[in-house]
Amino acid sequence: MIILGINETSHDASVSLIKDGDILFAGHAERYSKQKNDWYVNDGLIEDALQYGFPDQIAYYEKPLLKASRLILRGGSGDWKPRYIVDDMFGKKVPTTYFGHHYSHAAAGYYTSSFNDAVIVVLDAIGEYNTSTIWVGEGEKIKLKYKQNYPVSFGLFYSAFTQLIGLMPNQEEYIMMGMAAYGDWKRYYKEVDEYFPSYSKQKYNFHKGITDWGMTITEQDKFDIAAAVQMVYQQRLNDFMHMAYSITGKKNLVFMGGCALNSSANTLLWSIFDMIWIMPNPGDAGSSLGAAAAMYGKHVNWKSPYLGYDLGGKYPVDKIIEGLNKDKIVAVATGRAEYGPRALGNRSILADPRDPDIKDKVNLIKQRELFRPFAPIVMEDHAHKWFDMDFASPYMQYTVKCLQPEKIPSVVHADGTSRVQTVNREQHPGLYRVLNKFYLQTGVPVLLNTSLNIKGQPLLNDERDILDWETTYNFTICR
């Protein structure tokens, strides 16, 4: 059976196609429409997905009428009505099933995991009503164990402060997370803590933003507030995760929802659980796959996050090494696009992390703020010598202390940490060969890896994007 999963009406629409449990396609609307965090599915995305088969079933990631009822009765902002779910969308009626927002998150996580027994925690801004849920996955069954409803919300708390310091809520939370390393968390800890004193209690509905801060915010204050927010978030997350463990007794964690993108906070979860799976697209964009998996009702065959638009080609190992030797910075676009917000080697800029000036140079290419950090990719078998970690991080989901910062200064943040992506031979043979060749030349098994895009624009996707980039920026892309 072919199932088409869809998510719309939220920040970052996407589509996934599975056939008998194999994931044939998963892609983001923004990469086709070129509208960052596009809320709606478009024809280009659907046409790309349908190359892999025509759906027998459509699975939608949310219950639109339930969401509409919350918008009317309880407030909040946003849309609820999917545009692509109409009877004749493909020229014939395709039966559609609607799954709950948090259930789709849970299914996206559990059914792509290797676990047969796990606690599943979903934390986001808001679904229809749910904001925080705990589930148990056993065999092929997923059961709800705990729920917390709007307006108390981990995600809304974080987004409201993102907005307070002048960034875009629902989009630039990751910038605030990066800013936290430059701030003094103690300066505003007391004030911020009063807004979120326990995981089930908040000062008021954060959908309205922070309405009573009452103090002028200087440039330095922004960094100090970011640090305090990150600290309070981590403490509440720690409390919530301990509660999830205590009510389920499970030592395998599946963590999903937009909050699972907070790589600085994710690292603390290793002190509570034995094994952790965060699907590399844990936010709403991952829920098109979640809805499809929920419809399938069983584990799907997860192989990799390279599931989007296919540029074809063989990984250009030698061209990348040549470019690194010559210019220290190369762009690469090849094969299938990443499903998820992180560039994991197929739509990436790679650079020599040993040069302390590389960070500024790459930030200038990407037109980003100069304080913004970059992430390292490291050969998995060398990771423990360079970073304080005893686990793999194939999808760049954990921030850990760098053990040799003087040797790779351009991938170490102000607080001495790095958001690490580990790479092994099976996971990405081409990227592993690049790292191995660089290691044999330099003794350093690490490269800087960042997304191939300009700030505020989606990742490059197809041939036309590559041509546009090369023409506009006079910067050749390896492919």
Instruction: Return the number of the residue (172 or 284) whose C-beta is nearest Fe ion.
Output: 284
We find the least distance from the C-beta atom of residue 308 to Fe ion, in angstroms, to be: 20
E strand or H helix at 438, and its extent? helix 429-442
- Which DSSP string do the residues of 345-380 spell out, in sequence order? SSEEEEE-TT-TTHHHHHHHHHT--TT---EEEEEG
Instruction: Return the number of the residue (29 or 446) whose C-beta is nearest Fe ion.
Output: 29
- Residue of closest CB approach to Fe ion: 124
Question: How many binding residues for Fe ion (CB under 5 A)?
Answer: 2
Residue 124 binds to Fe ion (criterion: CB under 5 A): yes
User: Interface with Fe ion by CB under 5 A: which range of 209-217, 283-291, 367-375, 414-422?
Assistant: 283-291
**With helix as H, strand as E and coil as C, how does 154-191 read?**
HHHHHHHHHHHCCCCCCCCHHHHHHHHHHCCCCCCHHH
Residue 173 binds to Fe ion (criterion: CB under 5 A): no
8 A C-beta contact, residue 290 and residue 310: no
We find the least distance from the C-beta atom of residue 279 to Fe ion, in angstroms, to be: 13
We find the least distance from the C-beta atom of residue 130 to Fe ion, in angstroms, to be: 9
User: Interface with Fe ion by CB under 5 A: which range of 45-53, 122-130, 221-229, 302-310?
Assistant: 122-130
User: Interface with Fe ion by CB under 5 A: which range of 135-143, 276-284, 403-411, 436-444?
Assistant: 276-284
Sign of CA dihedral 380, 381, 383, 384: positive
User: Interface with Fe ion by CB under 5 A: which range of 14-22, 279-287, 293-301, 427-435?
Assistant: 279-287
3 secondary structure, DSSP code: E
Residue 465 binds to Fe ion (criterion: CB under 5 A): no
We find the least distance from the C-beta atom of residue 125 to Fe ion, in angstroms, to be: 7
> Pick from 30, 173, 284, 465: which binds Fe ion (CB under 5 A)?
284
Instruction: Return the number of the residue (224 or 284) whose C-beta is nearest Fe ion.
Output: 284
8 A C-beta contact, residue 376 and residue 399: no
Strands 57-60 and 375-379: unpaired
Instruction: Return the number of the residue (284 or 338) whose C-beta is nearest Fe ion.
Output: 284
Report CA-CA distances (Å) from 167 to 113, 176, 179, 183. Answer: 33, 8, 11, 16
Instruction: Return the number of the residue (12 or 48) whose C-beta is nearest Fe ion.
Output: 12
Q: In whole angstroms, give the CA distance from residue 66 to residue 74.
A: 11
**Residues of this chain that bind Fe ion (CB under 5 A):** 124, 284
